[in-house]
Structure 1
């Protein structure tokens, strides 16, 4: 095959990138230039979209966020806050032969890997979206890998037959409390609920308020999702899910709950009614991104989801590894000192 050229895309080429995202089955909203620009602008990240070209045609690529740590290390990552996966993509192959497809994947990923290694990064972290299963061009060349998980709820199945006793009890509690659900597009409602979650834990939200405001604007302008809220009979919103549309699926991207109403079952009611709503609109499954934290995973297992893996690949320089080890030793000593005194 012809050689793969890798280079940074110009902003004028972002539309071509978005077309690749649309046509590539593992491509998600998180890969689109609109989403990446929200991350860049609000989180103040240096964004690069690297494209892989064959004979002038964009056949793959990867978005990268770059930051400098204390002025001495250059760190690259395909993800950032509130973006769980956004790694390399490849144009869907036209050949029915598995061997031909593997060859295409390896040629593009090898070219991308070699290009990234020439950029002088001290650390590179790539998170591949679900559906990309072959990351051997990275692991065969010294990159570390790990597996993460998400949950898929099959919308073609009967939801009632898959509910656990715990979820049934929560749905009964929601019914007895008179809770209802509806679609809403009010960012203020969501920010209020999210603030309550983090205030209880005495933590700051993972991203500024502007991030969610920009996401709401994107949802309204491009019709790429919706917010579902659970309300009391008096009309007070007590829980909310922000759902983003994917290919044949909806991604439950972010959720918020007023802790005072947690025992009334508003979260279970949201999932249940979302299931029915999305099923009526011919979506195939819900991608519930809650499988990597045990308490969230335990809850969503009550809906009998399928556990779906996705992968990361990481490469660190000797300088990065040394400084990381020193930091861990220092942090451990500081913690032990605090425990002693």
Structure 2
């Protein structure tokens, strides 16, 4: 088997990267150059996409955001705000033999791991997309691993039989209040709702307005998702979801709610009608990215989802570990 060459991709090679994302499992929208460039531009990130080549063919790779901390520490991560996973990708093997597929996967990941270790990073954090299960080339070589979770709602099932009594009651209240749902792509409405939700907690929104404006533009240009809203009989939008299309699924990426209308059950109505809508369009499941936040877990469990694990790996230099320990100690003393 020929060896693997790993190098940083030039911007002119991003189209080739996107073709790999499209074909690879589990390639996601969060791996695409368009999404990564939004993160880079709006959040002022230093983006690098590293490609793995075999005989000139791109067969794997990994996007990373690189940051220098006070000129002392160089850290790299495959995620950023509201991009929960991205991480390594590999081209699917053509072999029917499990042993050959594992061999090819490990060859690509080992080459990538060795390359990253030579880039002078003090910390490297990679979060794999759900469905990428074999992270052993990292854990066998001293990287620490963590398990995370998301929820899948199976669109082939009967949603009514899976609803808890509490969710049934919320949907009934929303219906009796005259709330309706529809698709409506309007970034101003979404950001207004998001700001209201965070203001209630005395917090700033996790991303600036410009990020959502770019995402909405991408959604409209590429037809890769939609905003679904709950509104009153008077036409006031009181809740919204931003949904992004994936392979056979829709990712419920983020939601926003006017807290004054929470008691009317608009979010439960959104999930219920989204389920029916996506099912009618032959999607297989809804990926509800809320399984790592306890308050959201309590809500979504009322729809009887399947719990799906995904993984991250981390490698830290001694210098980084010492700096992190000092920061935690200092922060604890000043709190």
Into which bin does the TM-score normalised by the smaller protein fall?
over 0.9
Aligned to 1:151: 151
**Number of residue pairs aligned between Structure 1 and Structure 2:** 335
Q: Shift in Å at residue 296 of structure 1?
A: 0.3
Distance in 2 (alpha carbons) for counterparts of 1:25 and 1:233: 43
Q: CA RMSD in A?
A: 0.6
**What per-residue deviation string (whole Å, max 9, x for no partner) do you get for residues 116-168 of structure 1?**
00000010000000110000000010100000000000000011010001100
* Secondary structure at the counterpart of residue 96 of structure 1: coil
Q: Shift in Å at residue 180 of structure 1?
A: 0.3
**What per-residue deviation string (whole Å, max 9, x for no partner) do you get for residues 152-210 of structure 1?**
00000011010001100100110121100000011100000000011111111111100
**What per-residue deviation string (whole Å, max 9, x for no partner) do you get for residues 77-117 of structure 1?**
00111100000000011111111111011100000000000
Structure 2 counterparts to residues 89-108 of structure 1, below 5 A: 89-108=89-108
Q: Shift in Å at residue 68 of structure 1?
A: 1.1
Aligned to 1:238: 238
Aligned to 1:197: 197
Aligned to 1:218: 218
Q: Shift in Å at residue 50 of structure 1?
A: 0.1
TM-score, reference length from structure 2: 0.99
**What per-residue deviation string (whole Å, max 9, x for no partner) do you get for residues 23-44 of structure 1?**
0120000000000000000000
Aligned to 1:339: none
Structure 2 counterparts to residues 1-341 of structure 1, below 5 A: 1-335=1-335
Distance in 1 (alpha carbons) for counterparts of 2:304 and 2:70: 45
Distance in 2 (alpha carbons) for counterparts of 1:222 and 1:199: 32
**What per-residue deviation string (whole Å, max 9, x for no partner) do you get for residues 224-251 of structure 1?**
0000000000000000000000000000
TM-score, reference length from structure 1: 0.98
Task: Report runs of 4+ in structure 1 exceeding 6 Å deviation.
Answer: none
Q: Shift in Å at residue 334 of structure 1?
A: 1.7
* Secondary structure at the counterpart of residue 86 of structure 2: coil
* Secondary structure at the counterpart of residue 157 of structure 2: coil
* Secondary structure at the counterpart of residue 102 of structure 1: helix
Q: Shift in Å at residue 332 of structure 1?
A: 1.5
Q: Shift in Å at residue 71 of structure 1?
A: 1.8
- For structure 1, the residue ranges without an aligned partner over 5 or more in a row are 336-341
- For structure 2, the residue ranges without an aligned partner over 5 or more in a row are none
